């Protein structure tokens, strides 16, 4: 019956007016029952009389995707199963990895995972990329593996075709091809992909899956303004509570990582990406001497990580100032004078950070500025850190599961680790990476897809209690910080 409805609807849709076409496009973005009913009630009456409204929403979205994305009906039947599960299930996911009885449940309608890797990268990171594709397949996420950042379009694992030439509304850069840096170009391409999803998880190719039980949704919920890992009342409520940009600190340095981050499809997230990419145009000399190559690996000021750190602290300062302004705080002018010199000091250190020692001074400056801004924001707003930072959020070291570096903690992982970073065979870390996966990740058997797990070697696993103990040792490269005293419950102000 479903197939018949879809086939009939597809033929009918192709002869409908542009107004109906735009309405369907709107439904893809909003998934709103009321807008479906208001957009084309006569259409429903004619073809789907007496059907359940929530079911009609699914069919309408399905028809729109058939028309606009050229998806086959067989492909779409799988999507309909996912959406139906979303409408009838609940999720409960925590750091121990427990999930709902239906792993296809998605409280947020559209989640994409974007990984950029050229042909050579796809070869050397084959196991990582396979693990990400299987993880996406298990949970119904759309995976985009892009091997050419200069391409005009990309096709996802769920057959979504994305035109990379379309300039987003909030993006002043007309093209990404003028960025002669793989990392900055990837961030630019992310601005083109983001409008097609509700949330976009961006991963480096040297990131692999660890705990496939934990969903992206559970990470979003833990970052939510009032999040504790439990589902919110509805997708609409959830989206309003989820930060628009979710980042994590690198475990052993405190650097805000460019390797893994999550974006919500909002103007704020687009503008944050634009600010980050915009630093490419003002990077201090020396310039790039060849595509994707740096003059010297020690020129930290030329990398995308330090640019991200600067974009973060500038944005955080603006968020806190704007909230104080909204509350008409008398101390606003004082805070502007306080924050700006602090940020300028960090900017000067960034320019000078050619060697590792100066770069660490820059990172300490960013960390001090972050703590100061958040503390003063809490003082003036008498609220939580999440409220102060919203719509930005920073997970402290090793707290999100998005990608702790594998060389920390002797290559051991806990149930909190959803992904692991630096999973590559470099001579300096090969003792930690060799044999991490006991076999190549595979998921061709759809019958057991709901139980798919990354084939992490059993000797790599540690319980949460064992990992807490390990965190307090030099094995985790965290001895110089206070992380061992508070992990996994550290906040912004109790790690320096």
The edge-to-edge listing of strands for the beta sheet with 142-146 is: 142-146, 111-116, 199-203, 260-264, 245-248, 392-395
Task: Check residue 58 and give its pLDDT.
Answer: 55
User: What's the pLDDT tens digit per position in 403-438?
Assistant: 999 988 889 999 999 999 999 877 677 788 889 999
Task: Check residue 467 and give its pLDDT.
Answer: 92
Q: How far apart are CA 61 and CA 78, in angstroms?
A: 13
Mean of all residue pLDDT scores within the chain: 75
Q: How far apart are CA 490 and CA 73, in angstroms?
A: 48
User: What's the pLDDT tens digit per position in 96-137?
Assistant: 333 333 333 334 458 999 999 999 999 999 999 999 999 999
- Nearest in space to 43 (alpha carbons), one of 5, 86, 3: 5
> Region 465-474: what's the mean pLDDT?
88
Residue 274 has pLDDT above 70, yes or no: yes
Residue 384 has pLDDT above 90, yes or no: no
- Nearest in space to 65 (alpha carbons), one of 82, 90, 53, 87: 82
* Domains of the chain with bracketed CATH: 2-88 (no CATH), 92-248+257-263+394-468+481-496 (3.90.550)
The answer to whether the beta carbons of residues 183 and 279 sit under 8 Å apart is no
Query: Of the spans 91-95, 223-227, 395-399, which averages the highest pLDDT?
Result: 395-399
> Region 203-231: what's the mean pLDDT?
84
Task: Check residue 240 and give its pLDDT.
Answer: 67
Token code pair at residue 201: 């998880």
The answer to whether the beta carbons of residues 454 and 437 sit under 8 Å apart is yes
What φ, ψ does residue 245 adopt, rounded to 5°? -135, 120
- Nearest in space to 288 (alpha carbons), one of 189, 360, 182: 182
Task: Check residue 49 and give its pLDDT.
Answer: 46
> Region 258-271: what's the mean pLDDT?
95
- Nearest in space to 260 (alpha carbons), one of 302, 202, 308: 202
**CB neighbours of residue 34 within 10 Å:** 9
């Amino acid at each position: 019956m479903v197939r018949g409805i879809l086939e009939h609807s597809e033929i009918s849709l192709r002869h409908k007016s542009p107004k109906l076409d735009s309405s369907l496009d709107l439904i893809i973005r909003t998934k709103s029952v009321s807008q479906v009913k208001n957009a084309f009630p006569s259409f429903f009456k004619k073809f789907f009389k007496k059907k359940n409204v929530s079911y009609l929403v699914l069919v309408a979205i399905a028809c729109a995707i058939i028309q606009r994305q050229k998806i086959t009906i067989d492909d779409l039947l799988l999507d309909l199963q996912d959406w139906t599960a979303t409408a009838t299930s609940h999720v409960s996911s925590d750091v121990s990895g427990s999930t709902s009885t239906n792993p296809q449940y998605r409280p947020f309608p559209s989640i994409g995972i974007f990984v950029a890797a050229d042909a050579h990268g796809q070869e050397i990171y084959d196991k990582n990329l396979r693990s990400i594709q299987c993880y996406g397949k298990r949970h119904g996420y759309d995976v985009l593996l892009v091997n050419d950042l200069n391409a005009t379009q990309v096709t996802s694992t769920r057959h979504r075709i994305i035109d990379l030439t379309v300039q987003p509304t909030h993006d002043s850069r007309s093209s990404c091809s003028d960025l002669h840096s793989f990392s900055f170009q990837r961030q630019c391409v992310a601005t083109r992909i983001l409008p097609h999803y509700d949330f976009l998880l961006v991963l480096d190719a040297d990131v692999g899956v660890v705990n496939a039980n934990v969903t992206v949704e559970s990470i979003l919920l833990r970052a939510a303004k009032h999040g504790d890992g439990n589902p919110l009342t509805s997708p609409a409520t959830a989206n309003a509570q989820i930060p628009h940009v979710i980042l994590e600190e690198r475990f052993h340095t405190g650097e805000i990582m460019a390797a893994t981050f999550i974006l919500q499809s909002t103007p704020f997230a687009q503008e944050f990406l634009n600010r980050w990419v915009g630093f490419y145009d003002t990077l201090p000399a020396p310039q790039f001497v060849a595509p994707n190559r740096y003059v010297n690996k020690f020129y930290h000021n030329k990398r995308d990580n330090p640019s991200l750190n600067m974009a973060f602290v500038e944005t955080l300062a603006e968020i806190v100032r704007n909230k104080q302004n909204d509350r008409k705080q008398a101390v606003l002018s004082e805070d502007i004078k306080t924050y700006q010199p602090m940020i300028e000091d960090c900017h000067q250190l960034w320019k000078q950070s050619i060697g590792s020692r100066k770069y660490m001074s820059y990172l300490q400056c960013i960390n001090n500025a972050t703590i100061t801004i958040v503390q003063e924001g809490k003082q003036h707003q008498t609220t939580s850190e999440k409220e102060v930072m919203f719509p930005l959020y920073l997970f402290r070291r090793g707290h999100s599961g998005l990608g702790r570096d594998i060389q920390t903690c002797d290559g051991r992982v806990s149930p909190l680790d959803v992904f692991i970073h630096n999973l590559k065979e470099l001579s300096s870390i090969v003792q930690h990476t060799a044999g991490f996966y006991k076999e190549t990740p595979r998921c061709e058997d759809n019958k057991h897809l709901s139980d798919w797990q990354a084939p992490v070697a059993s000797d790599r696993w540690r319980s949460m209690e064992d990992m807490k103990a390990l965190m307090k040792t030099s094995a985790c490269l965290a001895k110089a910080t206070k992380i061992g005293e508070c992990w996994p419950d550290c906040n912004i102000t109790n790690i320096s």
